[in-house]
Amino acid sequence: MIRAGIIGGGGYTAGELIRILMNHPEAELTTVVSNSQAGKPVSSIHQDLAGETDLVFADKPSGKEDVLFLCMGHGQSKVYLEENMPGEHVRIIDLSQDFRHREKAQIGNRNFIFGLPEANHEAIRSAGNIANPGCFATSIMLALLPLAAEGRISEDVHIHGITGSTGAGQSPSATSHFSWRNNNISAYKVFTHQHLTEIRETLHAFSHHTGELIFIPIRGDFTRGIYVSAHTRFEGSQEEAVALYERFYKDQAFTHLSRDPVHLKQVVNTNKCLVHVQVHENTLLVTSIIDNLLKGASGQAVQNMNLMFGFPEQSGLMLKSSYF
């Protein structure tokens, strides 16, 4: 058993991490740190855990952890590590964007590996520190990686992605308020979303011959899930596209090609990504769906932990979707 701690324990991603780690066969969750909630029962904030844990929020790690998950806001992980760097034996999995980009992937003597298992499987196995990908980035990269690996992105890629309200985090804002979000839909950060940098860097690692990514992110009026559709020019048949994607994902634990059109209820509450491809004349449409809090955040973080410590990749992550 390894000992795990969470820094920044009050938000949505931390709540999902707690739920997974409490039931993980190879890990013991020993510490959940939250300065604002220190001394309170964890179940008083994460009320879905009522009756399941006696854990109390701490104000600092115990010092006995083997792995720390950083679940703080963007910019806060770097500050935390500058002030509270753990011992070299402690592995770190950061869920913010602080260390995702190549020029920012190091702090002190710690180098962070980009934690998309479908792209960096072997590097993650030997990593001491992981920068967990963003949620939109995960869904988009998994839609496009097979094309990049074959050098088949020669022209611009047009991407639409719709995300649930939990993607905005737990702190209330004007655009996450129920009365605004319900029965509503809107675009935001059009063409400039912060996840584009990590997407481009990952695709370029497979092929430098990629077109421009034209991304329209959309706020959905549902709670969780991401539905991405991307289309680009493709010189090939439907059968060729299916074979290309099946070949790329044949050994992956959580990303699968679906022969049928996909919908969010297939993946919500799971660590799965389902991908569907459709060729029309000279255009390929790729649809990619994930749960933004699991494969897009906490589930993928545990998947990375499993790889880092040599556990079966699916340990603790065999979760059933909320299909009905």
* Catalytic member of 135, 162, 196, 267: 135
Structure tokens at 161: 């992605």
Side-by-side strand order, sheet with 186-187? 186-187, 213-219, 157-163, 226-233, 283-290, 273-280, 255-257
Task: Output the DSSP codes for 205-238.
Answer: HH-S----EEEEEEE-SSSS-EEEEEEEE--S-H
CA distance 152 to 149: 8
Annotated catalytic residue 135? yes
- Beta-carbon contacts of 243 under 8 Å, excluding residues fewer than 6 positions away, are none
CA distance 130 to 318: 22
Does residue 108 sit in helix, strand or coil? Answer: coil
Q: Are the C-beta atoms of 15 and 297 separated by less than 8 Å?
A: no
Beta bridge partners of 160: 216, 229
Catalytic residue positions, numbered: 135
